[in-house]
Structure 1
Amino acid sequence: MAPGRGSRKKPAAERRPAVPERSAAAARRRGYQRRSKWQPIGLRVAVVAGLVVGVLLLANAAGLLRPSAGVVMPDLGRGHVPEGSAITYDSVPPTSGSHYAAKVAPWGSYTARIEDPVVVHNLEHGGIAIAYDGIDEATVKQLDGLLTTFPRSRYGNRVKLVIHPDDRLAAGEIVLTAWARMDRLAGYDEARIRAFYEAHLDRCCESVP
């Protein structure tokens, strides 16, 4: 006897058993666990990235990321002492330390070396010193020309440069100093001098002309 219509086999899709609700819940839990596993890593990456950005911003504000910002020197403090006091510095020329309380060199170019405690006071006022030895007259004139072409201080509208010879340096050497910064040049390099000047102008330590 031929099978009746009621005995016809159901399609495979109709015979597939339903997925229990607990299996679906387990799948959702596994998905949540996978997401939770990566969340702490993402948080740590975000924190580290934020710290890196913060450090870079601070370094840039301090001038450390600018070209030719110079070598960081030890900060020997800002003690003020009477003129004529004996002072020991840790570099030639010095970049920080005790200095004469009441003596500052007017910004400009000089034909004789300025005393270290005076130059250091200029650095404390946010200026830059350029010392040199054994360069020709044409190069001296190039240095002097910076007094009219470099950016002016926001305090007093002056180019805050002190330019002077220093026979303690090597012949032909030009040394740039700012507070706790130094850059030694083997010869005249206006781009490098400008970069140093712009990086450190008015960045230490007293807001004065």
Structure 2
Amino acid sequence: MSILERFPALIFDFDGTLIDSAPDIALGLNRLLVAEGRRELPLSDVHQMIGDGAGRLVEQAFAATGAALTPAELGPMTERYLAIYGALPVDRSCIYPGVVETLTALKNAGHRLGLCTNKPAGISVDLLRDLGLDALFDAVAGGDSVARKKPHPDPLLFVMERLGVGAGGAVMVGDNANDVAAARGAGVPVVAVAYGYPRMALADLGADIIIDRFADLPGALARLG
């Protein structure tokens, strides 16, 4: 059985897997924090906050500077952050090495590609377009596409339904424990990249395979198959 026959659908996380978005996320957060009279956060701190969605990101950023946002404050503050982040100019150099070439080869080989991120769907679609990656993807789920974000399997199942595959025909590719948990919940094997924002030891992620470079993905899929 070929890799395409075994895994017709390949589903990817965004931040820390396809793009190094942490510098722009930190820039947007720090502009918001400064506007609110808070101190800026170093990039290393922001790395540890990425992956749980925009609301949790903003909540953690304010908590790290000594300010606890109330539920009534969090929604509007998150919207302000998203407006700042969404207005930042897009630099295609944020795409990790090997991503464009590997995704293009997999797409041309017949795989259907999906994006499953905790980023809001609208911003994710806009970012894919601005990065020139939109034509490669057949389905997108953001953190607001379904009621529950990763680590729940719901957004992954959402993408799989739109790609027309069940658990036996998909692979999840991500960088942190949320991706692994979502894949396990959906009954899907998972490949983790070693260069992202894992927030824990790579050996503890529980992925089926860990790859050092995105270009190693086809080989990992062959091993899984």
Interval containing the TM-score (normalised by the shorter chain): under 0.3
- Length-normalised TM-score, structure 1: 0.21
- Length-normalised TM-score, structure 2: 0.20
Q: Which structure's relative contact order is higher, taking Cα pairs within 8 Å and 6+ residues apart?
A: 2
| Higher alpha-carbon Rg | 1
Larger proportion of helix: 2
